[in-house]
Amino acid sequence: LFDMDGVLADVRRSYREAIVRTCASFGVEAGHELISAVKAAGSANDDWAVTHRVLAGAGVEASLTEVTARFEEVYQGTEDAPGLRRHETLIPSRELLEELARSFKLGIVTGRPRADAERFLREHGVRGCFSAVVCREDGPLKPDPAPVRIALEQLEARTAWMLGDTPDDVRAAAGAGVVPVGVVPPGQTEDEAAGVWTALEGAGAARVVEADAELGGLFDG
């Protein structure tokens, strides 16, 4: 089982940057280091809610609906400006995912809206690798274990590994009785990577790997 953002999809220039730009549109400076810290603190599987939380912490009184609308303009794009989603790239190679799909049943558990998740998979040619794609519309968000259990049911699997880059992923996996593997997303500074590593281990990850260097080797043997 895979989380999507930070594990399958490099979102540094899309979702993460959308948080930064949405906050800036309200007059708040939110650097990537702050966003990483908020993510590491947990209960942060919804980027709309994360953005709202950062703004509220800076004293901005804006509704979640207003923040979400502003965020979506930045991420999806408008008639006048292309959206940041166009910058997203696949972290593991398509060849690796196709190879894994020949040996394992693969699934995704993500907090993305289904339309965004399915579009990313189609655009990168890997939709056929995944037999289950569980999205925010399908149940509670992580760290609730429910979406992980839904994926297991769809895959007809009793055991699994769950790869995720946040404590929410690790806790959801553990709560569903599967092995939680923490993933440090690409592009982190040394200090940021160390913070993510510590947070994932602290949440109970059985192992922690780096997304852009160790995902393939994780399945060797």
67-101 per-position pLDDT tens digit: 999 999 999 999 999 999 999 999 999 999 999 99
Tens-place pLDDT, residues 123-176 = 999 999 999 999 999 999 999 999 999 999 999 999 999 999 999 999 999 999
What is the pLDDT, as a whole number, of residue 180? Answer: 98
Closest CA to 113 of 186, 11, 4, 37: 4
Answer yes or no: is pLDDT of 221 > 60.
Answer: no
CA separation for the pair 143, 108 (Å, rounded): 15
Homologous superfamily assigned to 88-218? HAD superfamily/HAD-like (3.40.50.1000)
- Beta-ladder partners of 82: 77
What is the pLDDT, as a whole number, of residue 36? Answer: 81
Closest CA to 97 of 220, 217, 216: 216
Answer yes or no: is pLDDT of 33 > 90.
Answer: no
CA separation for the pair 80, 66 (Å, rounded): 20
Q: List the end-to-end C-alpha distance of the chain, in Å, as a whole number.
A: 18
In this structure, are residues 124 and 91 in contact, taking their beta carbons and an 8 Å threshold? no
The residue ranges of every structural domain in the chain are 15-86, 88-218
The mean pLDDT of the chain is 94
